[in-house]
Amino acid sequence: MHYIPGTRLIPSGNTGRQHNTISQFKSAKKKVGPFLIGKEYELWCIRKTPQETYKYTFKDLSSSNREEMIFDTMIQADEFIARVRGEDLPNYNNTDN
């Protein structure tokens, strides 16, 4: 797990995603996943579900509304958050360090 509760993110819409149609492009300009572009969110809570998945709860800091996302693995969640933040994750498998 790379990102922990308290991590903040501000989606910019610049996630490197390709758009196949005009409607996908228009909708992507306003949101990245469940997040509105330009708003600040905080990773609020991570919980393991009975289905062996992970529920990540994000809080909109301007309104205190919460967005929940389910990920199969924590790595999948970290990759999503890194993409939204425009960051690269470290290679934790590299043992040369």
Q: Name the residue ranges covered by the structural domains of the chain.
A: 1-12+39-88
CATH code of the domain made up of 1-12+39-88:
2.30.30
Q: What is the pLDDT of residues 15-26, one digit of tens each?
A: 554 444 444 445
**Three-class SS of 19-53:** CCCHHHHHHHCCEECCEECCCCEEEEEEEECCCCC
1: pLDDT strictly greater than 50: yes
pLDDT band at residue 6 under the 50/70/90 scheme = very high
> Distance (Å, rounded) from C-alpha 53 to C-alpha 26?
31
Decide: pTM greater than 0.85: no
Nearest to 47 by CA among 74, 82, 67, 84: 74
Contact 84, 9 (CB under 8 A): yes
